[in-house]
Structure 1
Amino acid sequence: MTLNNQLKTVCVQPLSYLTLSMITTIISAPSVLAVTWQNSFHSPEQSAERLTPQPNINITEPKIAQLQQDSLLQERSQFIQQANAQYSQGDFKGAEESLRKFIKRFPEDAFGHYQLGNVLFRQEKLEEAITSYQETIRLKPKYALAYNAIGIVYASQSRWDEAMSEYRKALEINSDYADALTNLALALWQTNKRDEALTSLKKAINIFKSQNRKEKASQVEQILQKIQNSDNPGVS
């Protein structure tokens, strides 16, 4: 396999973006209204004000709302767990079905649309995957992972200019997004922008190291070495 083909293979199989993940939502408990009676002397006016009956506080409604919210979170978690299990077993069709049910139940959930795009990509349903990622961005415009994912789909079709455009959008949102920097570098290499590719790879390596992601840093260092050695006649 030539160096170009090796790097193209790496480019369309990103280092981390396909991993289905769980989202933990932290919900603040409703505040509790506490009234303290002070045992001290007051003027008649103060006493009258202090002893004025307070309106009843309805605690039933907040409790019901909290229970409903907890139930929705549990339901959401069950959908994601099922899709995770199917995905890890290689059952991408089953994961797709679970995620479509999830989206039908939670149509405004950007994460669900993003994960559906990942599963569709694994099934080589490329245009559908792009549509899912675009819906993610519509719901959450700063979703850098979705821009990166669209770039990966374009890269799989050798649509390098479009891929680079999407990677750069992701980096505008998060300049330390090392996976996007790596993907951008590979696309730059494919379009004969060697120096820019090397610069992007070096930055990605530094970020991975700063994040203590040693395995990723090692992988990218290997890619960097291949590109640096590519000027040698014997390297293929």
Structure 2
Amino acid sequence: MKVKRKPKSAFVQSFSGMTLSIITVIGLSPLALAVTAKVSLDSPEQPIERQSQKLAQSSDTGTPERSQMIQQANTLYNQGNFKGAEENLRQFIKKYPEDAFGHFQLGNALFQEKKPEEAISAYQEAIRLQPKYALAYNASGMVYASQSRWEEAITQYKKALEINPNYGEALTNFALALWQTNKKDEALSSLEKALNIFKAQNRGEKVNQVERILKEIKTADDPSVS
């Protein structure tokens, strides 16, 4: 006997743990930032984000002191000391108030401290200073998604993708938000594009994540699945 199709809410719970771990954030990591998981600002399995961060860090005429302060904050963050990272980054911003990357990293730390509104403000400041900051838009979207504010999340992901149409993490996060708003076909299309991008980048872990999500979305509404 076939099992009744499980409600969408149950499906959401089944993969919500990986929803935000795709980034982000941080940048996103992008971010990637999972609501319940600690993600490195400079994760070795996310070379694209790492490269983007390095570009952001060198976007102005850096100094040894600046680099040292950023490194100290990153070390604290990677150790899970988000409060310490926040304090260091606030000191950094006092000295370098126009540094978009500093505001972006502050947003990451605040998000991990479960301070979503403050995190969004930090990302918005990063975007004000650097309008084409796709990582910050993606990270903002992830904060909204963590609060189930799907339409606001979608808006932020769209802005990230306008800047970088081949941003795999943003495409994945965008798809998950679309799924939450009952736009299955658009979600699948975005995931397929993200999958092709991750394959081209030889990012096996991301390929596996997206393939799992694709499978779950495709089978979630299939009454023949038992």
Deviations 1:157-197 (A, max 9, x none): 11101100110000000000010000010001111111111
Q: Which residue of 2 aligns with 1:13?
A: 21
The TM-score normalised by the length of structure 1 is 0.76
Aligned residue in 1 for 2:138: 148
Residue identity in the other structure for 1:152? M
Matched, 1:191 2:199: no
Opposite residue 30 of structure 2, the aligned amino acid is: Y
CA distance in 2, matches of 1:136, 1:198: 31
Deviation at 1:89, TM superposition (A): 1.0
Secondary structure of 2:63's aligned partner: helix
Q: CA deviation at 1:7?
A: 3.2
Instruction: Kindly report which structure 2 residues correspond to 1:217-232, keeping only aligned pairs within 5 A, or say none.
Output: 217-232=207-222
**Structure 1: how far apart are the matches of 2:72 and 2:30?**
19
Say whether residues 1:83 and 2:73 are aligned partners: yes
Distance 1:95 1:233, change over 3 A: same
| Amino acid aligned to 2:20 | V
Matches within 5 A, 1:143-222: 143-222=133-212
**Which residue in the other structure is 2:5 paired with?**
none
CA distance in 2, matches of 1:26, 1:141: 13
| 1:3 equivalent in alignment to 2:11 | yes
State the number of aligned residues: 193
CA distance in 1, matches of 2:222, 2:58: 52
> Structure 2 stretches of 5 or more lacking a match?
1-8, 24-28, 32-39, 43-52
1:111 maps to what in 2?
101
Q: Partner amino acid for 1:178?
A: G
Q: Do 1:14 and 1:152's aligned partners in 2 also have CA atoms closer than 8 Å?
A: no
In the TM superposition, 1:25-174 aligns within 5 A as 25=58, 73-174=63-164
Q: Report if the CA contact (8 A) 1:95-1:119 is conserved.
A: yes
What SS does the corresponding residue of 1:199 show, helix, strand or coil?
helix
TM-score by length of 2: 0.79
Aligned partners of 1:203 and 1:232: how far apart in 2?
22
* Identity across the alignment (%): 61
Residue 73 and residue 4 in structure 1: after superposition, are their counterparts in 2 closer, same or farther (change >3 A)? same
| Contact 1:154-1:162 at 8 Å conserved across structures | yes
| Deviation at residue 81 of structure 1 after TM alignment | 1.2
Question: Once the 2 structures are TM-superposed, how far is the Cα of residue 235 of structure 1 from its aligned partner?
Answer: 6.1
Deviates more, 1:10-19 or 1:138-147: 10-19
Q: Deviations over 1:88-113 (max 9, x none)?
A: 11100000001011111111000000
Report the alpha carbon displacement of residue 84 of structure 1 after superposing the two structures with TM.
1.4
CA RMSD, Structure 1 to Structure 2 (Å): 2.1
Aligned to 1:33: none
Contact 1:11 1:152 in 2 (8 A): no
Letter in 1 for 2:85: A
Q: Is the 8 A contact 2:22 2:206 kept in 1?
A: no
